[in-house]
Amino acid sequence: MTSAIQSIPLKTIDGKDARLADYAGSVLLIVNTASKCGLTPQYEGLEALYRANRDKGLVILGFPANNFLAQEPGTEEEIAEFCSLTYDVSFPMFAKISVAGEDRHPLYAALTAAQSEAASPNGNAMRERLASKDIPIWDEPEILWNFEKFLVSRDGQIAARFGPDTPPDDPALLAAIQELLD
């Protein structure tokens, strides 16, 4: 079984054409990333998660986005260099896209339509923290912030969505991944 998201055109961070179908048969963790965010250290945990589970069929896909306080201002080359030198990222990274608003990429339109709410280990704490700082935030189903995570099954079905404050080693996230890997 395949899903419509697998055929959406993408570009890798080095400009090559790609689609999620290139990863058919794998469990995917799709993450919108940023290099200048308080959550940027999640790259380290994402890389550890990828290395621990890639042989079991997990692929993490990073999608840099500059939607939130311009926290991803770099070019693809700068982003790739930052990820490599700072966090030794080896999981696939893609060209910078918009993940929220009227210009959001079709992939993120499909992801948010399929999973309109994100699970978070802290409930609404991050949303409340952003609002308390007068930071403009999107209402769900839009992406709340950098490092929101979508889990996609081996057959291309969107299985779960996790909030930005869900770290890569969160027990609920790990359990959901393990269930799809088994």
Domain count, the chain: 1
Q: What CATH number is given to the structural domain containing 87?
A: 3.40.30.10
Please report, to the nearest 10 degrees, the dihedral formed by the alpha carbons of residues 9, 12, 16, 20 taken in order: -40
- Of the candidates 168, 170, 144, 163, the residue with the CA atom closest to the CA atom of residue 43: 168
Those residues whose C-beta lies under 8 Å from the C-beta of residue 52, and which sit 6 or more positions away, are none
* Host domain of residue 166: 4-181
Please give the pLDDT value at position 139: 77
Spacing of C-alpha 110 from chain mean position = 13
Would you call 179 helix, strand, or coil by DSSP? helix
Identify the active-site residue in 21, 37, 174, 181.
Answer: 37
Task: Kindly report the average pLDDT of the chain as a whole number.
Answer: 94
Please give the pLDDT value at position 92: 98
Report DSSP state, residue 52: H
Q: What percent of the chain has pLDDT over 90?
A: 84
Mean pLDDT of 70-74: 96
Q: Does residue 64 contact residue 93 with C-beta atoms inside 8 Å?
A: yes
First-to-final CA distance of the chain = 18
Number of H helices, E strands in the chain: 5, 6
Query: Structure pTM?
Result: 0.95
What CA–CA distance (Å, rounded) separates 67 from 98? 6
37 is catalytic: yes
The answer to whether residue 1 scores a pLDDT higher than 50 is no
